[in-house]
Structure 1
Amino acid sequence: MQLVVLACLAAVAVAAPQNFARYYNRPDYRHIAILRDEREDRGDGNFRYEFETENGIHVNAVGTPGSKGQSNIQGFFRFPLDNGPIAEVSYVADEYGYRPQSPLIPTPHPLPAHAIEQIRVAEEQRRRGIIFK
């Protein structure tokens, strides 16, 4: 058993530097400085954090205890897109789920007028008790 553990440790020791070197020796890799990193945890379920990097990433979140045991979190994150502009997503996460908002999130096309009219007629027929089979 000791031999197996020793062999596993030796395998990890030999493999780790290769993976580390492969990642950090890439031509496109560069260290990104953290400009700001602020964290606060009050220990009662209330927290906040914010950090910002030199390449334009900015994250902010505030959390409070939720009514059903969850954490309610409200925040945003920003990051630069490859073509230049900054993407921003604001969000709320609570007992109703994760709800992001951003102009970058695709939305469905609006329904055409005739479809809206068909839905209205169907709702009116349901109210009158008309059922189609």
Structure 2
Amino acid sequence: MKFVILAFLVGVAAAAPKPDYASVSSEEYGAKTLRREFIMEDDGRYNLDVETDNGILVAQSGSPDGPEGAVVKSGYFSWTAPDGTPVHVKFVADENGYQPESDHLPVAPEFPHPIPQFVLDQIEKARREDLDRSSEEYRVPTSYRAP
């Protein structure tokens, strides 16, 4: 019975229409594409450039130079925020993950950052409790002591 259900699901998945991403127009999403260039080389390298009439720019290139043929890519994208602020993001995606750079992204505090005193006090208290607990484990009970 499980095999029949699995075969049915595989058949349904195989028969599902495949989206044609090349034919998707940004006009469906409220913008007109002014420029769209996509070049794919035989060796897996590619370049993509897109510009829309609402100010969105995307440029990226990639190649299968990562571990086990993974695609390594880099590029940028930009748009205008609703408040009129231009937003620019540069990125690299490689064996170290996705690494965006932008003045508009939050930045974690520099490490090592100062540790508040109450945290240091709590750490010290836990250390002392661990020492007390370990010393209790090695104490000889009074009932076993020689007279």
TM-score by length of 1: 0.59
Q: Which residue of 2 aligns with 1:56?
A: 55
Match of residue 41 from structure 1: 40
Measure how far apart 1:32 and its partner are: 1.7
CA contact (8 A) 2:50 2:59 kept: yes
Residues 57-96 of structure 1 mapped to structure 2, 5 A cutoff: 57-68=56-67, 69-96=69-96
Measure how far apart 1:109 and its partner are.
2.7
Within 2, Cα distance between the matches of 1:109 and 1:30? 37
What is aligned with 2:12? Answer: none
* Cα separation, partners in 2 of 1:33 and 1:112, compared to 1, 3 Å: same
Aligned structure 1 segments of 4 or more residues deviating by more than 3 angstroms: 110-115
Q: What is the distance in 2 between the residues matched to 1:89 and 1:64?
A: 20
1:100 is paired with a residue whose SS is strand
Tell me which structure has the larger Cα radius of gyration.
2
Partner of 1:102: 102
Which fold has the larger relative contact order, with Cα–Cα distance below 8 Å and residues 6 or more apart in sequence? Answer: 1
Unaligned 5+ runs, structure 2 = 1-27, 116-129, 132-147
Please provide the CA RMSD for this pair. 2.4
Q: 1:40 to 1:108 in 2, by over 3 A?
A: same
The separation in 1 between residues aligned to 2:84 and 2:110, in whole angstroms, is: 30
Relative distance call for 1:99 and 1:112 in structure 2 (3 A) is closer
> How far apart in 1 are the matches of 2:49 and 2:94?
19
Q: TM-score, normalised by structure 2?
A: 0.54
Give the aligned residue type for 1:45.
G
Q: 1:74 to 1:31 in 2, by over 3 A?
A: same
1:63-85 deviations in Å (ceiling 9; x for gaps) = 01124110010001101100001
Q: How many residues are matched?
A: 89
For the residue of structure 1 that corresponds to 2:36, the secondary structure is: strand
